[in-house]
Structure 1
Amino acid sequence: KENYKKFYEQFSKNLKLGIHEDSTNRKKLADFLRYYTSQSGDEVSSLKNYVSRMKENQKDIYYITGESKESIQNSAFVERVKKRGLEVVYMIDPIDEYSVQQLKEYEGKNLVCVTKEGLQLPEDEDDKKKLEEAKSQFEGLCKVMKEILDKKVEKVVVSNRLVTSPYCIVTSQYGWSANMERIMKAQALRDTSTMGYMAAKKLLEINPDHSIIINLKEKANADKNDKAVKDLCLLLFETSLLASGFTLEDPTSHANRIHCMIKLGLGIDEDECAAGDVGGVIQEISPLEDEEED
């Protein structure tokens, strides 16, 4: 075991490159792969061992890609999966993004990325009924948020993957993940035309059980044209981008929104904030004071 660990540290990238390029030996090479998982602790696990630990009603191998184990083990994307007792494979090597595109299944089990749309988890009739009810109740809010965010997102939907987080940004099945987008942006000789059509089409998923979303729904139902609703939706979208591993197109505007909220929290009056370095942004954020008083 120790000898293989040393071997793997030296040649893991070669094995993964083989997965990507050698279709003939892909299945054989997959047996040699090792990953951290949500149940492996500080040790790495093979896919064969993962399959042996799968739940009776589990059909797929769930995985998430990211920059480090620490950055993804508490991600919003794995909340529901882990709560169901399902194991998640952590793929933290940049080359994993390339190899997993070719390694679509292992021992008849599909590899499913938990950051992509259409995540299907083992669920009973009660779970399905609860999700359908939530979709019906929050349909109006989803429409309002889509109108506000416009082309920033493909659509806004009720999530089946969130437990404690209020929202997350998922990507389309065949587009890049947030991690892949980060990797491609870091390449000095990248093809900018590829970035245009492969860059992730973003879907905003909301948690119908979270107090932020519940209160936002009430505020939108009362007056969907309320300035506070627009400001909150934009702020939620920007923070969900960051939490989901994306970068902001306009970080300065986001920082200005946060600065104004901090000033409001510190009791700095509106005139002083408006006269400061954040300019007129306070006029957009000021309705948040009313929400705190409600």
Structure 2
Amino acid sequence: MEVCVSTRIETLEFQAEARQLLQLMVHSIYSDKDIFLRELISNASDALDKLRLASLVDKDLQVDTSDLHIAIEVDREKRTLTVRDNGIGMSRDEVVQLIGTIAKSGTAEVLRKAKESADAAASRELIGQFGVGFYSTFMVADTVTLLTRRAGASGGTRWESSGEGTYVIEDVDDAPQGTAVTLQLKPEDAEDHLFDYTAERKIREIVKKYSDFIAWPIRMATESTDTGGADTGDEATTQIETLNSMKALWARPRDEVDQAEYHELYRHLSHDWTDPLEVVHMKGEGLFEYEALLFIPAHAPLDLFAQDGRRGVQLYVKRVFIMDDCQALMPNYLRFVKGVVDAHDLSLNISREILQQDRQIQLVRRRLVKKVLSTVRSLQTDDAERYRTFWKEFGPVVKEGLLDDGDNQEAILEVVSVASTRDPEQTTTLREYVERMKDGQDDIYYMTGESRLMVEKSPHMEAFQARGYEVLILTDPVDEVWVERVAQFDGKPLRSIAKGQVDLDTADEKESAEPEREQQKKDYAELLSWLARTLQDQVKEVRLSSRLTTSPACLVGDTFDITPTLEKMYRAMGQNVPHPKRILELNPTHPLVSGLRKAHEQQDADADVLGETAELLYGMALLAEGGELPDPSRFTRILADRLANTL
């Protein structure tokens, strides 16, 4: 298209990370370059959705929406391919913001993974994430030109780049409404029919594979051959053909949709190259009607834990696109769920703020959440392998729901899967744990920690291992928080083995051991009092332990104290939480402890030596649970002196 007048011509540099992405695309080793067209069509479809919505909400917007469509234009001689839409278009500032800059978090991670990936299939998954889909055009084009005019504006913008780190942008007075992206295709691709993007057959193949479900018509001029008989010969005619079926999958009966169609819609919504783990197709009827098509991914997206990562599902009203990431329809702990919700009775100009308070939206949200959780529960009972895949990818996120979704706490607990001492290779559900509990066992025992090894080697485990009690091993950071909020499961209290008193003896064992314990209390009373005074700045109490079998000492918290790990997490978040003193428990059968008692009673060592021994005892208990010594240099000096005296 010719431009009448041009003003404000600028040559600008891409943002640093955008330049790196451009180089990645230009010199790409990806084997499947076809996805560039998928990305351009997807962008065009979004622009048409936004124009339809804008025209319905803003009655003063003078635009023609009678024939919204996407056009693919090919010039085989010039080797150009254009994807054109008559959608919302962009202003000059929007072009700079959306194409010259990548503002979303995680781009550096995309670059790192792309550079490290030796697997072409794995690399392809990265294209389209974090808004980088447009850059995939540089895999097939030497130069990319974009001509756009925002709906309602009088002038347009022309953008052009060869992918070398800069772009040219200029104002144009004569530009059609919408956006046209023209690619000057690489000459080497013409030599390989697999990558000849001027070939009608190739374009049909890509549109059918990736974009058949797009709600807007994708049109292209195609040639057909009419056979006129022996005398007239064959004559080629050109016609405009719609290449896609435009079927809204969520509105069709499930038995009329095959898995391939579901998977293609999922890829469009998520920009994920792999197939979803599970498809959830549901319909709500009654006072408020809606259709929903949700997808549970097979792997976690890179921005799953990013604060500004994409979350929520697409919201439509009577097939009209409303918003892309509707967080009001899906809680944060299910932020990995992708999909579409098409409501029948909402206002078209509903805002995000109104959505948060809308009673009907809240009703839909509750139904969606229950359906997703019941689907996960079905995987757990019917397909153990897929359930394990799900929990490995999304378990830590789902457990966040135990903190802020009290209505579904029981349903979430049913699908929770955690490690335990029973099997180092397999996790267990809480339901399975309860079914295996010993006769007379009233509590669900657990311990939190930074790693499985640290928990397994903890002194707190000794009595439970000796008695054959199964203990849940909780090592995700969120575990430190939710176990404090969840009191019980199936009527069984959750109890930390690192807090409070522990007594695993049966009634008969308690009775027979009572005389010995009473004698130990008398024998160690003086030592315990002295240690409590000596270590008063570190501990609140010193007592004999019934949880230790081989270690000399351990530190435990009171029943309602926060754990050291949780305290550390709160402080890292800037919260000034109080530091609770803990309880030092001693193993009266350990030679170090019994020896210390005798030395204290008989005064075989001077006061300084006894005091340093007390410090060593406390320091060893702290190190055994993975804690940090308050004065490491003093601890190592005392330890070195003691070792030297033994040689």
TM range (shorter): 0.7 to 0.9
Asked if 2 retains the 8 angstrom alpha-carbon contact of 1:153 and 1:201, the reply is: yes
The residue aligned with 1:229 is 610
Higher RCO (Cα < 8 Å, 6 or more apart): 1
CA distance in structure 1 between the aligned counterparts of 2:596 and 2:418, rounded to whole angstroms: 40
- What is the match of residue 240 of structure 1? 621
Partner in structure 1 of residue 469 of structure 2: 86
Counterpart among 209, 218, 243 of residue 598 in structure 2: 218
| Range with bigger deviation, 31-40 or 133-142 | 133-142
Contact 1:131/1:160 (CA < 8 Å) preserved in 2? no
- Percentage of identical aligned residues: 27
Counterpart of 2:476 in 1: which secondary structure? coil
Matched, 1:69 2:69: no
**Partner in structure 2 of residue 36 of structure 1:** 419
2:519 corresponds in structure 1 to 133
1:217 is paired with a residue whose SS is: helix
- CA distance in 2 between partners of 1:225 and 1:52 (Å): 55
Q: Distance in 2 between matches of 1:40 and 1:3?
A: 20
Deviation string 1:94-136 (CA, Å, 9 cap, x unpaired) is 1001111111101111111011122343433224443333222
TM-score normalized with structure 1 length: 0.83
Residue aligning to 2:321: none
- Taking the TM superposition and a 5 Å limit, the aligned residue runs for 1:144-293 are 144-185=530-571, 187=572, 189-192=573-576, 194=577, 197=578, 199-223=579-603, 226-265=607-646
Distance 1:122 1:106 in 2: 24
Instruction: Tell me whether 1:55 sits opposite 2:422 in the alignment.
Output: no
Instruction: Tell me how far 1:158 sits from its aligned partner.
Output: 0.3
Q: Number of matched residues?
A: 260
Would you tell me which structure has more helix in proportion to its own residues? 1
The answer to whether the 8 Å contact 1:62/1:89 transfers is: yes
Give the secondary-structure state (helix, strand or coil) at the position aligned to 2:561: coil
Whole-angstrom distance in 1 between the partners of 2:503 and 2:563: 18
The structure carrying a bigger strand percent of its residues is: 2
The Cα shift of 1:230 comes to 1.4
- Asked if 1:101 corresponds to 2:487, the answer is no
Contact 2:555 2:583 in 1 (8 A): yes
List gaps (5 residues or longer) in structure 1.
268-294
1:52-89 superposed Cα distances (whole Å, 9 cap, x missing partner): 11111101011000011111112100110121111100
- Matched with 2:303 is none
Q: Distance in 1 between matches of 2:491 and 2:505?
A: 17
- 1: CA distance, partners of 2:423 / 2:480: 21
Q: Deviations over 1:16-55 (max 9, x none)?
A: 1111111111111101111111112210000111111111
Report how far residue 214 of structure 1 moved: 0.8
Give 3-state SS (helix, strand or coil) of 1:138's partner.
helix
Specify whether residues 132 and 26 from structure 1 end up closer, same or farther in structure 2 by C-alpha distance, changes over 3 A only. Answer: farther
For 1:117 and 1:204, locate their aligned partners in 2 and report how far apart those are by CA, in whole Å.
11
The alignment yields a C-alpha RMSD, in angstroms, of 1.8
The 1:134–1:67 alpha-carbon spacing in structure 2 relative to 1, beyond 3 Å, is: same
- Cα contact 1:181–1:200 (8 A) shared by 2: no
**Structure 2-normalised TM-score?**
0.39
